[in-house]
Structure 1
Amino acid sequence: MHLALAALGFLLAGCAPNLPPPQAPSQQQPAAPTATVTPAPSPNLTLPAPSAEAKVALLLPLSGQNAGIGRTLLQAAEMGVFDAAGDDFSLVVRDSAAPGGPAAAVSSALQAGARLVLGPVFSTEIAPAAQAAGSVVPVISFSNDRSAARSGVFVLGLAPQAQVERVVGYAAGQQIKRFAILYPNSPYGNAVRQAYQDSVVQAGGQVVTMQAYDPAATDFITTLQSLSASYKSSGFDALMVPEGGPTLRTVASMLPGFDIPMAGPGGGPTPAGAVRLLGTALWNDSGLAREQSLAGGWFASTPPDRWTAFAQRYQQIYGVAPDPRAGVVYDAVTLAVALAKSKQGGDFSLARLTDPSGFSGVTGLFRLNTDGTVSRGLSVLEIGPGGITIRDPAPATFQTVIN
């Protein structure tokens, strides 16, 4: 196994990134991977013949303003290679922020023999990367923007729609029927709003009110007055607030003052008249356990035990906490390794990628769908005085996972 690095200026200048094997310092370390320099892509791309070695492209921003993100995600990819790959697997690393952007990075990787593209990170880079990959080489991006998904172009990030579908489905199973949402008027907020409407209808519930606010707002009095009026006139059992950080803390702390009673922690159906707070993975912050106003709130996210184990090992190896997207990158790499073992040179066909059995990773169960979206097995978590706990565990399998 090895990581092949593109012929970037900073590499030629002798500043190649340090790629030690991901082992804790106290452990015996295997030999470091070989970094090789490859020529710039030709304007007329011709794919080399398949080889016995399975080669997979990895697109990350390794220069420019997002280089820090790229380097931390590269470390997650290293972990995946050293954990799962053999000598017949090669990860061909390319800088999506280099001149020519993601299209040139993909072309260069394909010239080096890559038959699958992992990345890019950002949704705006997916289209040029996919165009360069053509209709033969699949792309598994790390974005969570479902609108960029299509056949052969997968969106592996934790999409807000999947989180909403899971928590709404669970809430409906707890006899919650009347739903409301308070959301920022932003692309993210509107994606959540649409998913919320769809999920509530699918679960047999009713969306009673939807209140939007300026994402830059700091004064929520007028918005909460309108929400309170809706509660008093129509009533609702659950309120989705797809926010995090200071805005979430501010809004949640103000709700009781507008005569919207919170359900609080505990099991069983929501008490009559009380409102169950619902959220997204933006709530996955251990500091929120200190916010009494959020106690009893539910949200969906990846299984916390798997992420915690991965994050602890990442920090032990690299000395810093991982970026939340690191688990997605690790899972993409180990999925590619699993598919590489299917046959000599790997089997990265769409039929194999979309195996209905799915895959088990540090972000839990996931399955690539033929339309480019990803199904996930998520946990429903509850915020309480003692921290974030599992309210409803993630499913154990879709059918039978491939690894």
Structure 2
Amino acid sequence: MKKRVVITGAGVISPVGNNVLDFISNIKGCVNGIGEISAFDNSLYKTKLAAEVKNFDPKEFNIEGSRKKDRFLQFALVAAKEASKNSAYIITEENSFRTGVVVGSGIGGIISIEEEHKKYLSKGPKRVSSHFIPKSIINMAAGHVSIELGTRGVCISDVSACATGTDCIGHAYRLIKDGYQDAVFAGGCEASICELAVSGFEAMSALSFSDDINRASIPFDKERNGFVMGEGAAILLLESLDSAIKRDANIICEIVGYGQASDAYHITAPNPDGKGVIQSMKDSIKEAEIDITEVDYINAHGTSTPLNDEIETNAIKKLFKNHSENIAVSSSKSMTGHMLGAAGSAEAVVCAYALKEEFIPSTINYKCKDESCDLDYVTDGTRYEEIEYAMSNSLGFGGHNSTILLKRYNK
């Protein structure tokens, strides 16, 4: 018998808040998390802006041995500890093997890679840190979370570029639904605002070169010209409904569907026909056993790149047909920038609380209508209304298309 799966905890480190309450409050308040790059001297770069995490000191969050952990690992630990705390889920000897971790990253410890490579070139191989490898490999996100919280069940890191956070949640959902685990900490983390990563994305002409914080990350706007790099982490505690009810947990919302499909087209560009994202959305709806007309809101991938926004718009129109006119659509990246491997999980948090607290977030700084992007992108500020089903899309380099479908919790 398949199990119902609910979300009972969440933790966030983001450009618009370093805990879930501040994050949701600032999303509702249409706060722009984008600013001048402070992580390094960017005078030689075209890229002037990023969505950095502000006022983050790992010592203040009680991250033991923080110097031995890359920034992406620090983010993951803080978010996981918050999800654990606000879920009130107690890990015991009895339930530890039924409690898992699925936490990934799109890029991993690139800051440590950059730092240690500089050290290698200037001082030689003997000066490379013995902590270099465990600081930089992606699976350490899940490993550190498991060690910190004491989980002994499934411990794995899914990696699918910018779809990572969504796929980690989808993987965790299936583990619980199919009875392999009772609870799973799931999500993504990323910290790649550094010289090497910005150089790489800039060379691809993927980033916005705008120097205006209000006209840089502008999804679906006709003047969009690239994404703004963000960073952070978002971890959710997924739990079987039986487990949540048994311990009288605070249930945020229910997860009812997950879809994943490949474009099989290009390493970076989405397939113009949109068939991959259409299939991922379609499969999430099929698993939820609902009609397409029941979807109220879509948190779009919405990167503010010319191709992505148009192709995602057309995919929504092709799948939902006339109902696409009734669906509210928005992109959290207008506020957070693109958090890469953490984007999907951060946007899942937005959807979860949108269902619980009855609001639809805005796409901020939208000004110029694009004739090829003609959905209801919620550009007039936060809407306060009840929604029953919220969908979150993530698309990643390599052709990854992932969708999760969330439902307002009804007993």
Query: TM-score higher than 0.5 here?
Result: no
Q: RCO (CA 8 Å, sep 6+): is it higher in 1 or 2?
A: 2
**TM-score, L = length of structure 1:** 0.28
**TM-score, L = length of structure 2:** 0.27
Larger Rg over CA atoms: 1
